[in-house]
Amino acid sequence: MERRTQARPTGLFLTLCAAMLLLAMVSQQPWASGARSYAKGAFAPFEQAMTAVSDHLGAITAVFGDNAALRADNQRLQAQNADLQRQIAELQAAGQDNLALRQALDFQRGYGHATVAAQVIGRGPDGFSLTVEIDRGTSDGVRPGMVVASGAGLVGRVREASPHAAIVQTLADPQSRVSGYLVKTGLEGTVIGGAANLQMQINPRFGAAPAAGDWVLTSGVGGGYPRGLVIAKVAAVSYHDASTVDHATLTWVNDAATLTVVLVITDFAGT
């Protein structure tokens, strides 16, 4: 066998491993972020082209299958459903605000922000970091740290931006953390990312109990996100006597795998 007689390329392996480690350490440095962004931006057109091909193929197969109208109706109804759910959550939140300190609050509520619409052109290469890539970058005013939303609610935050593309860390990413509150009870807590479901650690308060079906909105605590963006709906709540917080499983209003268009909030400077 020819393969068996070849010299074992351990030297090549070790050299390439060392080179990749060195590249990782160098490209991680702040002074290299510009070059890294440009390199990543070079790959974006291929993703954009592939996404366009995918859209065309989807349209062609839909025509052949006589499903185009049904697909359009389904998408429209899904969008309407998401929008109505968001409105319900916002109305509930508005009611609570009226009861409490609405007149004293002096901040611009969600969706009063300046936004840049962007198309999702790619996604993370593995399941460990659930990110999406969008076709807007620094030349469109998009900067790392900016908050990203969709018609349904909060999507995540821009993590890296090149001139014509940006990578967004979605809430489905296990690393994401957002301060949120329950609309009906006003209970606050931290929403933790997850591939299957979001989790929320709720700070308990005497006389208030979290319940399934309640909406979770961004609280604005910590300054990372504007207050009032819809995050998720409570699917289930669990209590543990030994725990200092209550735990809730949430159903995210967005789905990272099917997102196609997002809005980057450009006038909110999160901390």
Q: With contact defined as beta carbons under 8 Å apart, do 132 and 257 qualify? A: no
233 part of the interface to another protein, by CB under 8 A? no
Binding of another protein by 169 (CB under 8 A): yes
Which positions ≥6 away from 214 have C-beta within 8 Å?
A: 182, 183, 184, 185, 233, 234
Stretch that binds another protein, among 12-20, 97-105, 135-143, 226-234 (CB under 8 A): 12-20
The tokens describing 82, both together, are: 């998401």
Site string for another protein, 176-215 (x = CB under 8 A): ------------------xxx-------------------
Query: Closest distance between another protein and the C-beta of residue 16, in Å?
Result: 5
Which positions ≥6 away from 235 have C-beta within 8 Å?
197, 212, 248, 249, 250, 251
Q: Minimal distance in Å, beta carbon 173 to another protein?
A: 9
In the bound state with another protein, the residue whose beta carbon lies nearer, of 28 and 75, is 28
CA 105 to CA 93: how far, in whole Å?
13
Cα 168 from Cα 35, distance rounded (Å): 19
**Is there binding between residue 128 and another protein (CB under 8 A)?**
yes
Is 38 one of the binding residues for another protein (CB under 8 A)? no
What is the Cα 107 distance to its own chain's centre? 24
Q: What residues line the site for another protein (CB under 8 A)?
A: 3-4, 6, 8-10, 12-13, 16-17, 20-25, 27-28, 36, 39-40, 42-43, 46-47, 49-51, 54, 121-131, 133, 159-160, 167, 169, 174-175, 194-196, 256-258
